[in-house]
Structure formats: C-alpha cells, structure tokens
Amino acid sequence: MTDVPLNDLRRGFLELEAPLRAAVDEVLSSGWYVLGPQHDAFEREFATVIGAAHCVGVANGTDALELALLSVGCQPGDEVVTAANASMYTATAALKAGLVPRFADVDPGSLLLTAATIEPALTPRTKAVVVTHLYGRMAEIAPIRDLCRAHGVALVEDCAQAAGARNEEGPAGSLGDVAAFSFFPTKNLGALGDGGAVVTNDDERAALVRRLRQYGWSSKYTVTEPRGRNSRLDELQAAVLRVKLPHLDAWNARRREIVARYAEVLGSGPRRMVHGNATDSPAYVGHLAVMITEDREGDRAAFAEAGVRSDVHYPVPDHRQPVLASATADVQLPVTERAATQILTLPCFAEMTETEIERVCDVLRKL
C-alpha cells in the first residue's frame, strides 16, 4: 500500500492536464514570455477575485511581502510587528528591506495574531504590522485594523496561505492597506514554479510596486526608485494561474471538508484541529490541516506506522532562528513556543481520495 502523501502536486496537474498544456503551448508559440498578455489578464482577473483595485504580479511571495512593506513607506530601521509562527517569511522580507522584525505572540486557540497580542509589541518606531492568515484561517482583521489606524501604522495582510478566503467584510487581501500572495506550487492557488502578487486598493502604492518590481523604472531605462529590483511574474506562470483560478473556490471547499472530517473524529478529545471550529466558514480555506497534540512524537510514529505522512509547520519560531537568535534572545512568546512543540500537519489537498481520508481518520480514531 502506498503512503498517504501530505500533498500530491502531480494529481493537481493531471486533473487539469489538457487546459494546462494548451495554456503553456499558447505561451510558447506566442513568443512573449515576460510581462505580456497572460500576465496582464491574470492581474485583472485576480484583482477581481480579491475585490481590490490592483494586483501586481511578482516573482514570489517573499518579494511580494518585501515590496508590500516598501509600498507603505517603510524605511531602513523601521520596525515591523508580526507573528513568529509563520516560518520567517515576513522576517526575511523585513530584514532584506533593512527593517527590524518585532514579534508578537498569538492567540492560543487560533494561533493567529489578534489586536490584543499585537498591541504590546507596538513601539513609536513601528511602521507596519504584517498579519499572516496562517494555515488558511483569516485573522480577525477589523480590530487589528482599528488598532493600526489608532497608532498610525500600516496593515499588511500575508495571504500566502489564504487565497480565496473571505469573511463577512470581504476577501483576504482586500481588508488592509496592502496584501501579499504567494503562488508557490503547494499553495491553494499554486503555479508550476514560483510566483507572487501584491494586491492593494491604493493607486499610488500599486504604481510604486510596479516601478520597484522592474529595476525602479518610471519609464523604460529611466530609474527613479532607489530600491528597485527585478521581480516579475512570467507569462507561463500567469497562464497556468489563469487556468487554475476558476477552480479555487471548489478546491478550498474540499480542503475545508477534509479538515472537518478530521475534526469530527477528534471530537472533544485531548487533541484538536487548530481550525476545526472554522470548517463551515469561508474565512477558512484549509491550506494546512494542523492538529494540536500533547504527544507529537508518539502520534507521528502512529501515522508513519500506518503509512500516513505528516510534517510540522513550523518547528522553529522566528525569534529562535539562528539568524536572529542574538537579537531576539530575550524575547519570550509562550503561546508560540508551546505550539511549536505541539503542532502536527496531516495530509490535506483537494485531490485526496475518500480512501486516503479514511486512512488518516483511522489513525486519528486510535490515537
């Protein structure tokens, strides 16, 4: 019996093989490979889905975060408040921009930032807050936005894990000042390579990101922005994303269903799915099926024994990363640190079979 994988990108490809091959073929024959019609169309279509005025395609989600931070006026030495449980992506982008990451703890139930956990981390030097909609669950954005407004701080949404999520106010990516998306292949909307986007309602901010992503050009070969670079979404990836985008809602619904099945089996036992209480909400898109357990090593062994793959997202909190450790040695984030020892990711992808879901559930029943 083959293992139940955590994810299987090949199945996702096979499901759409014909339209994907046709889209790629069209690009190959077109002779236009960077910043062409596919890219323009994807930017328009994705902005519509997110309900924002502008989408700017970039090379990956980390660049999207960095450009988003620059677009709200962050300058070297400014502080950026974020969570420490999302694998350093925001901190990496902030450090690259010369900013200082400051870490806030998360809510013990959702493992997300809240206004209450962010507030103590704000200082007069804070320029932006980056909220990660972790594992596909949208944070409670309205109170966070109120807090940011009251402190004159920009709000960046990291939507890398939450493409297609929406709460009563609107889609993830439309609720702050600017948002960053990743289209890494494992994301709910994944390309066949790297890709990302910055989304915003602000015309000037979008125009600035367009200049920054292309060498700082204000017009061809004229560099006006000092911190430009090359970070573009190519035609092949844009064409692939256009084929996949119409399926996003259905895939997200299926992911929610899978997590709901796991949550139902766990019931009110000692283990729980982190977002098991959100599986009937479109504000959750089941990017990762993460369980909380007091016996992670024992549970992992049980899954391995049954041929079910598992993983940990993420084992090392940002403030304990070697690259930062001396700067953040005295930072204590009890909820984040405890969760890092208790989280376990189970298989979850839209193409999972009933048999595979049952195999995961069987192990959960016996834990």
Ligand X SMILES: Cc1ncc(COP(=O)(O)O)c(C=O)c1O
Structure tokens, 176 = 């702050």
Q: Does 228 bind ligand X (CB under 6 A)?
A: no
What does DSSP assign to residue 320?
G
Distance in Å, CB of 194 to ligand X, minimum: 6
Q: Does 217 bind ligand X (CB under 6 A)?
A: no
DSSP E strands, 95-213: 100-104, 126-132, 154-158, 166-167, 170-171, 178-182, 196-200
Q: Which is nearer to ligand X, 86 or 344 (CB)?
A: 86
Q: Which is nearer to ligand X, 290 or 357 (CB)?
A: 290
Q: Which is nearer to ligand X, 172 or 333 (CB)?
A: 172
Comparing CA positions, the residue from 6, 34, 16, 77 lying closest to residue 250 is 16
Q: Does 46 bind ligand X (CB under 6 A)?
A: no
Structure tokens, 258 = 């899978």
Q: Which is nearer to ligand X, 13 or 184 (CB)?
A: 184
Say which residues have a Cβ less than 8 Å from residue 286's Cβ, sequence separation at least 6: 135, 136, 188, 252, 255, 256, 258, 259, 275, 279, 348
Q: CB–CB of 116/105 below 8 Å?
A: no
Q: Does 103 bind ligand X (CB under 6 A)?
A: no
Element (H, E) at 263: helix 248-266
Task: Select the residue interacting with ligand X from 7, 62, 114, 167 (CB under 6 A).
Answer: 62
Q: Does 343 bind ligand X (CB under 6 A)?
A: no
Q: Which is nearer to ligand X, 66 or 299 (CB)?
A: 66
Our measurement of the distance from residue 23's CA atom to the centroid of its chain's CA atoms, rounded to an integer in Å, reads 26
Q: Does 161 bind ligand X (CB under 6 A)?
A: yes
Q: Does 290 bind ligand X (CB under 6 A)?
A: no
Q: Does 345 bind ligand X (CB under 6 A)?
A: no
Task: Select the residue interacting with ligand X from 46, 89, 284, 303 (CB under 6 A).
Answer: 89
Q: Does 132 bind ligand X (CB under 6 A)?
A: yes
Q: CB–CB of 288/135 below 8 Å?
A: yes
Distance in Å, CB of 239 to ligand X, minimum: 18
Q: Which is nearer to ligand X, 60 or 110 (CB)?
A: 60
Comparing CA positions, the residue from 126, 82, 89, 88 lying closest to residue 104 is 82
DSSP class per residue in 26-77: HHHHHT--BSSHHHHHHHHHHHHHHT-SEEEEES-HHHHHHHHHHHTT--TT
Task: Select the residue interacting with ligand X from 160, 212, 291, 352 (CB under 6 A).
Answer: 160
Count of chain residues binding ligand X (CB under 6 A): 14
Interacting residue ranges for ligand X, rule: CB under 6 A: 60-62, 65, 86, 89, 132, 158, 160-161, 182, 184, 194, 196
